[in-house]
């Protein structure tokens, strides 16, 4: 079977790496396990940083993972246009790595949130969201304790103006995120961070549906490698 | 040996749910008149040998890059 080779990074404390690999496989690609201590991306076409509690969330979520050997490769690859998707803890790692603006702090309501969450996909100009239509509403699981997205007003305005808010929460804001932001991309669009978990909504009988699969299809990247230099 | 202390606090504009929870507990303990609580982190770095300017600059860099996140936090470095 053709398809891309999509790396899924495992950090100590990663939780959803196996689910992410499964989602990649169900989307028709080959999942390549990557280890945080290696200095080698193994030539993958795209990278997923999965959810979990890397390094026990010590110091700050994602703060220690950022300095892992593999992350220096991911940062370099992202600079060359490598598609990178960070989910939940992966989103936190991307913010700590300064690949994405802003930060994720403790939920305003001081509670861990775990529920099926309705989202609106807004930015579809990224390899991870291009299979959706702008404005499409989807439902995927959300589970986080520190998922409140914050950034200064100027950064938020810039994200909105450039269409870099890729997903927004619908209904009551589950964690206090500014402007209901559930996911953002970098300026180029190849790096996306998402607090909810599309990898848990890719298979009949598990999770709220199949809405998450669209994040892993990577259609255009497959067709043209448009996001690589 | 020298001790270098790094204090890290959330920036004033970032809401601090932990501080808020602590603040909420105070009246239950009969403490009145505390109008706000902010929770931060304190790091104590034990340093071998002489604390040179260069060494201190290195620790300042670590405080900025690792111990704090400049997007949401401020830090201060003290020599104890």
* DSSP assignments along A44-74, one per residue: -SEEEE--B-GGGG-SSTTTTGGGSHHHHHH
Distance of residue A105 Cα from the nearest chain B Cα, in angstroms: 8
Q: What's the length of chain B?
A: 80
What is the rounded distance in angstroms from the CA atom of residue A216 to the CA atom of residue A23?
Answer: 7
A197 is catalytic: yes
List, in order, residues 6 or more apart from B29 with CB less than 8 Å away.
none
**Tell me, what's the ipTM?**
0.86
A67, A102, A109: residue with CB nearest B71: A102
pLDDT in tens, chain A (229 residues): 468 999 999 999 999 999 999 999 999 999 999 999 999 999 999 999 999 999 999 999 999 999 999 999 999 999 999 999 999 999 999 999 999 999 999 999 888 999 999 999 999 999 999 999 999 999 999 999 999 999 999 999 999 999 999 999 999 999 999 999 999 999 999 999 999 999 999 999 999 999 999 999 997 655 555 444 3
Distance of residue B38 Cα from the nearest chain A Cα, in angstroms: 14
């Amino acid at each position: 079977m053709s398809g891309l080779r999509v790396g899924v990074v495992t950090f100590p404390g990663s939780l959803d790496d196996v689910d992410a690999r499964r989602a990649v496989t169900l989307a028709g690609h080959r999942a390549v396990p990557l280890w945080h201590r290696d200095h080698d991306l193994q030539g993958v076409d795209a990278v997923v940083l999965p959810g979990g509690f890397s390094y026990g969330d010590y110091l700050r979520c994602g703060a220690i993972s950022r300095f892992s050997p593999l992350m220096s490769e991911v940062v370099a690859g992202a600079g060359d246009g490598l598609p990178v998707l960070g989910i939940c803890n992966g989103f936190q790692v991307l913010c700590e790595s300064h690949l994405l603006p802003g930060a994720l702090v403790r939920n305003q309501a001081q509670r861990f949130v775990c529920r099926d969450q309705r989202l609106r996909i807004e930015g579809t100009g990224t390899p991870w969201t291009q299979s959706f239509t702008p404005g499409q509403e989807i439902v995927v699981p959300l589970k986080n304790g520190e998922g409140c997205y914050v950034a200064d007003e100027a950064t938020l305005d810039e994200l909105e103006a450039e269409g870099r808010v890729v997903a927004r929460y619908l209904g009551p804001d589950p964690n206090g995120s500014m402007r209901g932001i559930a996911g953002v991309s970098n300026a180029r669009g190849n790096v996306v961070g998402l607090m909810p978990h599309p990898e848990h909504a890719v298979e009949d009988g598990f999770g709220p549906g199949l809405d998450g699969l669209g994040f892993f299809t990577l259609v255009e990247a497959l067709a043209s490698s448009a996001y690589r230099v | 040996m020298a001790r270098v202390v790094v204090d890290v606090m959330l920036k004033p504009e970032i809401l601090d749910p932990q501080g808020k929870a602590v603040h909420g507990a105070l009246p239950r303990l009969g403490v009145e008149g505390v109008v706000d609580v902010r929770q931060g982190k304190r790091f104590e770095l034990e340093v071998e040998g002489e604390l040179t300017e260069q060494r201190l600059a290195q620790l300042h860099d670590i405080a900025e890059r690792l111990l704090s996140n400049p997007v949401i936090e401020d830090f201060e470095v003290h020599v104890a």
